[in-house]
Amino acid sequence: MIDAPVLEVEDIGVSFSGRTILDGVSFQIRKGEFTGLIGSNGVGKTTLLRVILGLQRADTGRVRVLGESSGGGRSLGYVPQKVVLDPDIPIRARDLVALGLDAERYGFRRRTKAQRALVDKMLHDVDAERFADARVGSLSGGEQQRVLIAHALISRPKLLLLDEPLANLDPKSVQEIVSLLHRVASDNEVAILLSAHEMNALLPVMDRIVYVTEGRAASGTTDEVVRSEVLSKLYGHHVDVLKLHGRVLVVAEPGAEAPDIPDHPALTIS
Amino acid sequence: MHLLFESGFFSSEPVHTAVVIGAVAAIVSAIVGTFTVVRSQSFAGHALTDVATTGGSGAFLLGLSPLAGFIGGGIVVGGAMELIGVERARVRDVATGIVLGAATGLSALFLYLDTTRSATTGATQQILFGSIFSIDQSIVPLVVILSAATLVIVGAIYRPLFLSSVSPELASARGIRLRFVGLLFMFALAVSVGLSSLATGSILSTALLIGPAATALRLARSLRTAMVLACIFGIVATWLGILFAYDSAYWDPSSQGLPVSFFIVAIIVLLYLASGLSVVRRFAGRRDGGEAILGAVPSASPDATPDATAAI
């Protein structure tokens, strides 16, 4: 059991009213690994994350977290995609982080000194101290991501799932969040599964990639997966993989139908 | 000379009862109201006041205590609304509106029957706009017990309610049952509306529920401070309202005094408007010097715009 994978996803299939969302998706994540879940919008990334969290039932296959097949509970941390925090509501960053400790607990209990110290430490770990007492809703997108990451990490999960945390961030914030996640993951031995529609920002830190298109997935190291043969097979038509100055471009043939190539639209040549 | 307290204010029994009921209703409304505003359920809260009107006027017709009707109506309809659990905002909005209309229609019938069948002429005024000076002293213990029970419920679900009010997504990711929490909160809201219906009348109980809480949320830095502030504002408004209404009978000897609810609501609205000034100031001075300490921490552009769109 010592080397049991943190997460095992086996042959997951999901369909909604006859439409196939995921079809035979399998991969594993080991302790402390940084995995990118890459695919364009609408290919089923969020559905897959929700299946792993136990918020969505799969029609086929199974998910095991730390060898256990039940939901995962507190060994999973999650940063959802659509978190809208209202600036008119007085919730400080530190309040949201503290709720990460015990939000699901009913009953009266004051937080202990040790818990408050832990909140301070988390805020420090994600470089959020300087806005710890500001209203979360009034923070910038990158600042909010830090707070949400601290909220998810404070309960010491073994696996952190993040749904498109880099979407809508400016390039500098993207860099900061990626290196923050990389640092936090290796410091605390937390495995990370991060979904994104753009992989280039993640190339320096990704140990593995799960590349999803139209419900099917290929997984492995970036070098194993992001190759013309593998991706062409996955897409069902020919795509080229170009590497330029440490960046990767996935390019469809002219005329080929390529609606879901997960890169910046400006980089996708058609 | 009686500048502030007219003669008999401190020795009057109805005033004692009014002061206790007013404070209790203000405290419960403040705590529940804070969450109501955070959860954007003001409209649902208002629909419950209309249901309370129906319940109150129905109870009057049956010869029961209006309090039983105020609270009973709210719990039944509020619970049903929450259990049906319409997820889409527009459908929920419409459903609330329909419930509100239906409840008010029934109230019209009940109030008509109340006034035609019984000798009392004050039913309409009492149910809709309250009559805090004519509350039977014997219900004070019941009011206190109901209030305590409501506060215990809110306290027991405090953290799940807090997170699910701030972000349902984050809450459900942690396995919090949103329906369960929402249903318990709806009960608390129904009781709170019923209690404040005693003080300000059912129609105006929204004012006591939303006003102090909304004012406090503008000023406070944390939710807990907001609740404390809302309690203070609520109590100040009800007590001053009681005082002014009592005094008003002396302003014009021919009158019997002006309604308490008018004064309570007027004070609440003035407090809310005054709190707007602090908001203006906060936005003007927002994040002053915040970037100066950064130095070592490379930061994104100090983008202080609300991030509702960026987070999507």
CATH number, domain of A137, equals 3.40.50.300
Query: Which of B166, B180, B279 is the best mutation test for A, with the most CBs of A within 10 A?
Result: B166
Inside any domain, residue A1? no
- Could B311 and A144 be called an inter-chain contact, meaning their C-beta atoms sit closer than 8 Å? yes
User: What's residue A177's pLDDT?
Assistant: 93
Q: Specify whether A107 is located in the same domain as A12.
A: yes
The set of residues, in sequence order, having a beta carbon less than 8 Å from that of A7 and lying 6+ positions away, is A28, A29, A52, A63, A64, A65, A159, A191, A193
Chain A residues whose beta carbon lies within 8 Å of the beta carbon of residue B289:
none
Inside any domain, residue B290? no
pLDDT tens-digit map of B238-294: 999 999 988 888 887 776 778 888 899 999 999 999 998 877 776 665 544 333 333
Inside any domain, residue A31? yes
Q: What are the Cα distances from residue B207, in Å, to B201, B265, B266?
A: 10, 6, 10
Residue B224 to residue B85: CA distance in whole angstroms: 28
Inside any domain, residue A111? yes
Of A87, A95, A103, the CB nearest to B171: A103
Residue B194 to residue B64: CA distance in whole angstroms: 14
Q: Specify whether A241 is located in the same domain as A221.
A: no
Inside any domain, residue A121? yes
Strand partners, A78: A161
Query: Which of B40, B41, B170 is the best mutation test for A, with the most CBs of A within 10 A?
Result: B170
User: What's residue A188's pLDDT?
Assistant: 83
Q: Specify whether A60 is located in the same domain as A179.
A: yes
Task: Grade residue B62 by pLDDT with cuts at 50, 70 and 90.
Answer: confident
Inside any domain, residue B35? yes
- Going by C-alpha positions, the residue among A131, A182, A179 that lies closest to residue B307 is A131
Strand, coil or helix: A270: coil
Inside any domain, residue B196? yes
Q: Specify whether A48 is located in the same domain as A142.
A: yes
Sign of the torsion angle spanned by Cα atoms B260, B266, B271, B272: positive
Q: Are A36 and B138 in contact (CB under 8 A)?
A: no
- Tell me the residue range of the domain where A237 lies: 227-270
User: Which residue from A minimizes the CA distance to B181?
Assistant: A106
Residue B302 pLDDT exceeds 70? no
CATH number assigned to the domain comprising residue B150: 1.10.3470.10
Q: Specify whether A260 is located in the same domain as A216.
A: no
- Could A90 and B302 be called an inter-chain contact, meaning their C-beta atoms sit closer than 8 Å? no
Chain A residues whose beta carbon lies within 8 Å of the beta carbon of residue B312:
82, 84, 168
- Could A137 and B217 be called an inter-chain contact, meaning their C-beta atoms sit closer than 8 Å? no
Q: Specify whether A236 is located in the same domain as A146.
A: no
- Could A89 and B166 be called an inter-chain contact, meaning their C-beta atoms sit closer than 8 Å? yes
Share of chain A above pLDDT 90, in %: 40
Q: Specify whether A16 is located in the same domain as A56.
A: yes
Please tell me the least confidently modeled range out of A142-146, B192-196, B197-201: B197-201
pLDDT tens-digit map of B150-165: 999 999 999 999 999 9
Token pair recorded at residue A3: 């080397």
- For residues A68 and A158, the model is more confident at A158
User: What's residue A257's pLDDT?
Assistant: 55
- Tell me the residue range of the domain where B261 lies: 13-276
CA A79 to chain centre: 7
Please tell me the least confidently modeled range out of A118-122, A254-258, B195-199, B229-233: A254-258
Q: Specify whether A205 is located in the same domain as A260.
A: no
B184 touches chain A (CB under 8 A): no
Q: Specify whether A212 is located in the same domain as A231.
A: no
User: What's residue B282's pLDDT?
Assistant: 65
Q: Specify whether A99 is located in the same domain as A130.
A: yes
- Could B304 and A140 be called an inter-chain contact, meaning their C-beta atoms sit closer than 8 Å? yes
Inside any domain, residue A187? yes
Q: Specify whether A237 is located in the same domain as A220.
A: no
- Could A85 and B155 be called an inter-chain contact, meaning their C-beta atoms sit closer than 8 Å? no
pLDDT tens-digit map of B205-246: 889 999 999 999 999 989 999 999 999 999 999 999 999 988
| Count: domains in chain A | 2
Domain boundary among A226, A245, A262: A226
Token pair recorded at residue A79: 């940063």
Inside any domain, residue A2? no
Task: Grade residue B94 by pLDDT with cuts at 50, 70 and 90.
Answer: confident
User: What's residue A117's pLDDT?
Assistant: 94
pLDDT tens-digit map of A7-16: 999 999 999 8
Task: Grade residue B304 by pLDDT with cuts at 50, 70 and 90.
Answer: very low
Distance from the Cα of B192 to chain A's closest Cα (Å) equals: 20
- Could A169 and B310 be called an inter-chain contact, meaning their C-beta atoms sit closer than 8 Å? yes
Q: Which of residues 15-44 of B touch A (CB under 8 A)?
A: 38
For A27-48, what is the mean pLDDT?
A: 90
Inside any domain, residue A81? yes
Task: Grade residue B107 by pLDDT with cuts at 50, 70 and 90.
Answer: confident
Task: Grade residue A74 by pLDDT with cuts at 50, 70 and 90.
Answer: low
Q: What is the pTM of this model?
A: 0.83
Q: What are the Cα distances from residue B81, in Å, to A124, B76, B77, B86, B93?
A: 43, 9, 6, 8, 11
- Could A105 and B174 be called an inter-chain contact, meaning their C-beta atoms sit closer than 8 Å? no
User: Which residue from A minimizes the CA distance to B39?
Assistant: A89
- Going by C-alpha positions, the residue among B192, B145, B160 that lies closest to residue B26 is B192
| Count: domains in chain B | 1
For A38-54, what is the mean pLDDT?
A: 88
Residue A108 to residue A111: CA distance in whole angstroms: 10
pLDDT tens-digit map of B125-157: 777 777 788 788 888 899 999 999 999 999 999
ipTM value of the model?
0.83
Share of chain A above pLDDT 70, in %: 90
Q: Specify whether A266 is located in the same domain as A250.
A: yes
Query: Which of B161, B174, B218 is the best mutation test for A, with the most CBs of A within 10 A?
Result: B174
Token pair recorded at residue B172: 């459900």
- Could B176 and A104 be called an inter-chain contact, meaning their C-beta atoms sit closer than 8 Å? yes
